Structure 1
Amino acid sequence: MEIQHKLIKLNQTFANKEDAIRYCGQQLVAAGHVNEAYIEAMLERNEELSVYMGNFIAIPHGTDAAKKEVLSSGITIVQVPAGVNFGTEEDPKIATVLFGIAGVGDEHLDIIQRISIFCADVDNVVKLADAQSEEEVITLLNSVG
């Protein structure tokens, strides 16, 4: 899947995980990948099972029931240098890179797999979190099969 420059957002800050997830959803709505209702499904999905994946990344995405809200597959990459907590105060799970995704059919599984392979190496996550341009983010992510 092609990564769009306009869906890469650098140096963002969020008060909490709900704001961060909502922001990812709004980016996908604005780009025409999903209907507005998908945002609530992204929040719901995180309630059911945390979208925090470890290694400082979170992958907000909708529930299976929200598939009907997906118009086309898309991904937004949001850099959060100060981090946002996807855990609790007692058990913080800090994400510095968010991948908001929507996939037609099973395409989201392929997207998650590619992100997971790339982010399994925490050095790659650090490079993404430190990237200074949209182009740098795209180059890093395209370096994965």
Structure 2
Amino acid sequence: MEIQKNLIQLGQSFKTKEEAITFCGEQLVSGGYVTPDYVPAMLERNSELSVYMGNFIAIPHGTDAAKKEVLKTGITIVQVPRGVNFGDEEAPKIATVLFGIAGVGSEHLDLIQKISIFCADVDNVVKLADATTADEIADLLNSVEV
């Protein structure tokens, strides 16, 4: 999957996970990957099962019922230097890199798998979190065919 540099957002800050998920969804909408109805399905998906994956990453995506809202497969990468909590006060789950995804058919599973493999190495997550340009992030991810 080709990483679109216009869908890479650096240095973002969010007060809540809902705000972060909505931002990811809006990026996918503006890129022409999903309809606006996909965004609430991303929030619903997280309420059903957290999109936090560990190693400081979250992968917001919609519910199965929202598949009809996906126009084409896409991914947005959002860097959150101060992190956003996908857990709660007692058990924080801080994400510093968000991968908002939408996949046609089962392509979202392929995206999740590739992102998870890349981010299983926390050094890769640190590189993404420390990147200062969209080119750096795109080069890192394109080098592993995410």
TM-score of the aligned structures, taking structure 1 as reference length? 0.99
Which residue type is aligned with residue 60 of structure 2? P
> Equivalent residues in 2 for 1:31-110 (5 A)?
31-110=31-110
How far off its partner does 1:82 sit? Answer: 0.2
Structure 2: segments with no counterpart, 5+ residues: none
2:13 equivalent in structure 1: 13
For residues 44 and 124 of structure 1, the distance between their equivalents in structure 2, rounded to whole angstroms, comes to: 29
Post-superposition Cα deviations, 1:14-67, rounded to whole Å, max 9, x if no partner, equal: 010000000000000000000001000000000000000000000000000000
Q: Is the 8 A contact 2:102 2:108 kept in 1?
A: yes
> Equivalent residues in 2 for 1:104-123 (5 A)?
104-123=104-123
For residues 68 and 111 of structure 1, the distance between their equivalents in structure 2, rounded to whole angstroms, comes to: 18
How far off its partner does 1:2 sit? Answer: 1.1
CA RMSD of aligned residues (A): 0.6
For residues 32 and 141 of structure 2, the distance between their equivalents in structure 1, rounded to whole angstroms, comes to: 22
TM-score of the aligned structures, taking structure 2 as reference length? 0.98
Q: Tell me the secondary structure at the aligned position of residue 71 of structure 1.
A: coil
Post-superposition Cα deviations, 1:107-135, rounded to whole Å, max 9, x if no partner, equal: 00111111001000000000000001011
Q: Tell me the secondary structure at the aligned position of residue 75 of structure 1.
A: strand
How far off its partner does 1:143 sit? Answer: 2.1
Which residue type is aligned with residue 136 of structure 1? E
Identical positions, percent: 75
For residues 139 and 27 of structure 2, the distance between their equivalents in structure 1, rounded to whole angstroms, comes to: 21
Write out the 4+ residue segments of structure 1 that deviate beyond 2 Å after TM superposition.
Answer: none
Structure 1: segments with no counterpart, 5+ residues: none
For residues 28 and 100 of structure 2, the distance between their equivalents in structure 1, rounded to whole angstroms, comes to: 8
Which residue type is aligned with residue 110 of structure 1? D
For residues 104 and 79 of structure 1, the distance between their equivalents in structure 2, rounded to whole angstroms, comes to: 24
How far off its partner does 1:90 sit? Answer: 0.4
Which residue type is aligned with residue 44 of structure 1? E
Matched length:
145
